Structures are given as structure tokens and as C-alpha cells.
Amino acid sequence: MTFEQQYTESDFLKVIPYSNPISIAAIISEIGCAKNTAKRYLAELEREHKITRANIQGSIHFGYVRIPSQEITLEGVVGPDGIIKIDDKFKGSKYKLILYKDEDVNL
């Protein structure tokens, strides 16, 4: 009999917001896992700097919030059609793009 992982990091990241900390009890309820399973995943996500503990407003307890991903710097050119081509590895992801005009580029 082989061990099959029932949960993944992404299962946990999907329920942890970027603001308004969520308690471990709420995470367990959303995912449907055991408390020890949640603690292991949350500890690993903290070590990887993907989440952090935060005080829950009006409570002595803490919850978890996601840490925004590191900035990615991409250089490229906006084509004459106004479309920016981004590598396929970014498909399906949500990004905030900040564009700076490079005066040295001629189309």
C-alpha cells in the first residue's frame, strides 16, 4: 500500500487571505483536515515565507495571512498592436503590471 497525499499546499493557500487573518479552526473547517495536518502544512508554509501569523482584531488569538509573492521584473516591448507577450509559465496567474517607458526603444 502506498501513501497518497490527500492535501496540498495550494489547498491551504486557497483559503488563506492576504488580509483579515483566518484562524486555524476556520482553515480546518474549510479544508476538512485534521488539526495536526493543518499545523504541519501551516508550519511549512511559514518556513517558506508564503504565510505569516497575524493578530485577529478584537481577539487574543492569531490567524494566518498570505504574504504577497516577490516582485518579478520582466523586460520587453509592447508590440504595435498594444499586446504584451508574457512567457507561458505565467498563464493562469494574476499579476499587477507596472509599465515604464524605455526611451531607448524604437518600434
Which CATH number goes with the domain that contains 26? 1.10.10.10
Is 74 a domain residue?
no
Query: What are the cell numbers at 98?
Result: 507596472
Is 40 a domain residue?
yes
Q: Which residues, 6 or more positions from 49, have their beta carbon under 8 angstroms from its beta carbon?
A: 67
Q: 21 lies in which domain range?
A: 9-66
Is 93 a domain residue?
no
Per-residue pLDDT of 45-86, as tens digits, reads 999 989 999 998 888 899 999 987 655 566 666 677 777 666
The per-residue pLDDT for 4 is 81
**What does the alpha-carbon distance between residue 99 and residue 25 come to, in Å, rounded to a whole number?**
41
Is 102 a domain residue?
no
The per-residue pLDDT for 2 is 76
Is 52 a domain residue?
yes
Is 32 a domain residue?
yes
- How many domains, the chain? 1
Q: What is the mean pLDDT of the chain?
A: 81
Is 73 a domain residue?
no
- pLDDT > 70: what percent of the chain? 64
Q: Three-state SS for 51?
A: strand
- Cα 91 to chain center, whole Å? 15
Is 94 a domain residue?
no
Mean pLDDT (whole number) for 25-39: 96
The per-residue pLDDT for 57 is 85
Is the pLDDT at 35 greater than 80? The verdict is yes
Asked if 9 and 45 touch (Cβ cutoff 8 Å), the reply is yes
Query: Any idea which of 16-20, 35-39, 67-71 has the lowest mean pLDDT?
Result: 67-71
